Structure 1
Amino acid sequence: MNERTVGMLARFTGVSVHTIKYYEKIGLLSSNRKEHSNYRSYDIRTCTDIYECMKYKNLGFSLKDVGTLTKDADEIKMRQMLEKRLQEVDASIEKLRSIKKRVENYLEETDEIEKKHLKIYIPLENS
């Protein structure tokens, strides 16, 4: 049996039935429909297509870009898209580093304020 049902494909790939159907709906995957039952069936090649889609999704590409990468991109276009994604990741890292530094500075400021308040508000012992 070379064809798989959507459930079998989901179990084999670890991708939900909903995701597989959605990817089919937006054109990332294709299936054959049985006329008498209207059930979807998938060629074993669809497993590879799913893994390709998931690989690009895990790299942070949008579904539109996943479609381009899996259907239309030649080696040059793929490289351009990967380089652009790398630049986006670098920019995100820099932004997060900046936020991290601001949070660290704020923590230091609150620690200083707390130390000053403890010195001012230390209750005197009753004699």
Structure 2
Amino acid sequence: LPVSVSLKSLEHADLIRILTEPKNAIIKQYQKFFSIDKVDLIFTPEALEGAADLALKQRTGARGLRTIIEEVLLDVMYEVPSRGDIKRITVTADTIAGTQEPELEFRAEVPPVFTEKSA
């Protein structure tokens, strides 16, 4: 027998919870990714709200959240490994809206990215 189920649309608060609460939440995945390079990734509450708003506006729901976050972090994901001086990345509502790059906070001392061994 075919099963027919009606689904309730996700709401704003649901999308924010999807970004932050599950064990494998999108935000947690990106924080782990950046922690490999000893960089803290921070999303302001307004940034989370902005991402949820954008997903609702685009009618992409939960699946669109990953794309939204990835587009915001794409450039900095390539920049961080080649630099040793980035300490913290902060994503704001303006970052989500596309009007501002993520805010970068730098370390006082720059650890070497590559070390050479003498022969």
TM-score category of the 2 structures, normalised to the smaller one? 0.3 to 0.5
Q: TM-score, normalised by structure 1?
A: 0.32
Q: Which has the higher contact order (CA 8 A, sep 6+)?
A: 2
The structure number with the bigger radius of gyration is 1
The structure that is helix-richer by fraction is 1
TM-score when scaled to structure 2?
0.34
